[in-house]
Amino acid sequence: MQTDNFIPCFSIDCVVFGFHNNELRVLLLKLKNLDKWMLPGGFVSYDKDVDEEAIKVLRERTGLDDIFLRQFHLFGKKDRISKSHAQEMVDKKVISEDLKKWFDQRFLSLGYYALVEYSKVKKPEPDPVSEAIEWCPFSELPDLVIDHVDIVQKAHQRLKKELNFQPIGLNLLPDEFTMSELQALYETILNKQLDRRNFRRKMLAFDILKNTGKKRTGNAHKSPILYSFDQEKYQQLLQADHLF
């Protein structure tokens, strides 16, 4: 890795959320030769916009373009990276000795969160310092490096707050879904149960759902209606300056 073109002491970390089997999951990388995990991330070139670099990271890890991506917090505690972190990575041959000085710096990290449809990420790709990349349950995070668990938790808090101001679902659900599946997504993010009739009434009142005229078949009792998002109205609501 050539570091000359990177802005010193500044990095980006991306919390990629997916939703699968009524479970919120986070895309994580396992470091080479270490039983530790980390968020997808990287550094910022002098000649690139910060958002552009974040989009590049996500494209390389997920293969997706047009990802829902938001900056949410700057992480800058003076002790967020331990003094032994770089040396451990050298000892375990995660990085070469000549990179130790670069990783020994104090880094400010700009956090992003992304929402992707789980099924569209066909084969996530690890980066040069990792040996695996997996979807891990948000409720059962593995051992993460430095302050990455705090970054994940902060991203989840922001996502819950965003539910008050904008619709969530277009980027996490398949193109067609049932009202129960949409409610399960909200309940999973909020970590609480919602009244079924009240949720249905409110979601339909926002006028962003389209009845596809199709039903989910194979259910033991009744076949629920399949909905899709009206993307034009969805985007209008995203831009609206009022409580969702």
Yes or no: say if 182 and 234 are a contact pair by the CB < 8 Å rule: no
Weakest-pLDDT range from 59-63, 164-168, 197-201? 164-168
Q: pLDDT at position 170, please?
A: 86
pLDDT, tens digit, 9 for 90 and up, residues 124-134: 889 889 999 99
Tell me how far apart the alpha carbons of residues 144 and 104 are, in angstroms, rounded to a whole number.
Answer: 18
How much is the pTM?
0.89
Mean of the per-residue pLDDT values for the chain? 91
Query: What's the pLDDT band for 168 if we cut at 50, 70, 90?
Result: confident
238 pLDDT tier (thresholds 50, 70, 90): confident
pLDDT tens-digit map of 135-167:
999 999 999 999 999 999 999 999 998 887 778
What is the pLDDT averaged over residues 228-232? 92
Asked if 178 and 134 touch (Cβ cutoff 8 Å), the reply is: no
Q: How far apart are CA 88 and CA 99, in angstroms?
A: 12
Q: What structural domains and CATH numbers belong to the chain?
A: 6-149 (3.90.79.10), 179-239 (1.10.10.10)
> So what's the pLDDT on residue 162?
84
- Asked which of 15-24, 78-87, 219-228 is least confident by mean pLDDT, the reply is 219-228
Q: What share of the chain is helix, strand, coil (3-state, %, to 5)?
A: 30, 30, 40
Distance CA 209, CA 213 (A): 12
Q: What is the mean pLDDT of residues 205-220?
A: 85
What is d(CA 149, CA 154) in angstroms, rounded to the nearest whole number? 9
Rounded distance between C-alpha atoms, residue 72 and residue 75, angstroms: 10
